[in-house]
Amino acid sequence: MEAYKTWVRRNRDYVHSLESLANGLTWFLPERFSTSEIGPEAVTAILGIITAINEHIIDTAPNGRYTGSADPSFPYGLCISALKDLETLVEVVAEQYYGDKKWNFIAVTEATKVMVRLALFRNSGYKMLLHGGEIPNVQKDSDDTSSQQRIGGFLKHGGHHGPGLLQNNRGQNPWNLEGRALSALSRFGESARMISDPVWMQRIQQQHAIMEPPTPMIKRPTLSMILSEKDVNGALFLLGEVLFITRPLIYVLFIRRYGVRSWIPWFLSLGVDFIGIGFLSHVVKSGKGGRDQQFSASEKDEVKRRKLLWALYLMREPFFSKYTRQKLEGTEMLLETVPLIGTLAAKIVELVIGAQTRYTYMSGS
């Protein structure tokens, strides 16, 4: 296994190209969207899981800095990716053997994803989930504007210099400079392996310890800390993320109750998405995410990505059967007389209609 990890990390570009080619070819497998054919979906699921494992191996490369999820002991991103790949296979198998009761199995899968994402959301310090938790939300130090900032050798709340920190006119900390000098003397004494430190060295070490106390660890934000914010941005951010995480499960449960042809699940899911994005958009515009922290560029892009997912409502029942499918078939008929383009358009329409029959392809979860 270690040899495979080393090979993947050394040939990451080749691995990415090979995975993209293989995943693209799966769309042209025979009987890809047949309800009686499980093989193609099994191949697709296996390739997807292998891709997720390779990405996890690359992200956890021993480069001195863990780039995976908040808890390196549990690969949340890998678990979520594997569940998404398996969900389609579960749907196909359940549809073949249980018919409309497949929604029970899909609901169980969605509930599992909700629990994993909620656990990731909590363990990451309530950071926004990027791509549903598949991509770690790791910010660079230059982008870190948290409530505790390091200035010299001290920690101070806020981004402004206050009276509690001694500084000169250039913004430097003279105490920190002296502390580094004393630290160098201390290291010199240790390298010489002195049998016993003289009195003057002991005094220097004591003074050094007083001037530069151990840096306190920045505590991970808790739910009570966020909810105790003076404004409502913290609560809105939490509610928006929870709605985004639970929306697919709510959608499936209402489909299970009213049927896929009912407008109730469609409108309810759209309403949950609209309210959740509205909360997050408000918090982004206000500049704070309930954690006294400016949103990063990746988090702002995530909000835009979630808005783009609204286009999937055009592909979900009953909107698809009533409106979208007619437009697609009309376009196919219009282009069928054009050489090559007509054939290509017919194949694209066939793939789109086939993909629409799978809940997991259009769920956006």
**Which sequence spans correspond to the domains of the chain?**
1-138, 148-211
Distance CA 304, CA 311 (A): 12
Is the pTM here over 0.85, yes or no? Answer: no
pLDDT of residue 357: 87
Per-residue pLDDT of 98-107, as tens digits, reads 988 999 999 9
Per-residue pLDDT of 64-100, as tens digits, reads 444 444 445 688 988 998 999 899 889 888 988 898 8
Per-residue pLDDT of 265-317, as tens digits, reads 999 999 999 999 999 988 888 765 444 457 888 999 999 999 999 999 999 99
Distance CA 171, CA 161 (A): 9
Distance CA 103, CA 294 (A): 40
56-71 burial, b for 16+ CB within 10 Å, e for fewer?
A: bbebbbeeeeeebbbe
Per-residue pLDDT of 8-18, as tens digits, reads 777 777 777 77
Highest mean pLDDT among 37-51, 76-90, 218-232: 76-90
Cα–Cα distances (Å) from 318 to 251, 289, 313, 357, in that order, read 13, 36, 9, 12
pLDDT of residue 40: 76
- What contacts 24+ positions apart, CB below 8 Å, involve 219-224? 220/125, 221/125, 221/126, 221/291, 223/122, 223/126
Question: In this structure, are residues 265 and 210 in contact, taking their beta carbons and an 8 Å threshold?
Answer: no
Give me the chain's average pLDDT, please: 75
Highest mean pLDDT among 12-21, 197-206, 335-344: 335-344
Per-residue pLDDT of 235-274, as tens digits, reads 889 999 999 999 999 999 999 999 999 999 999 999 999 9
Report whether pLDDT(110) > 60: yes
pLDDT of residue 317: 94
Report whether pLDDT(345) > 60: yes
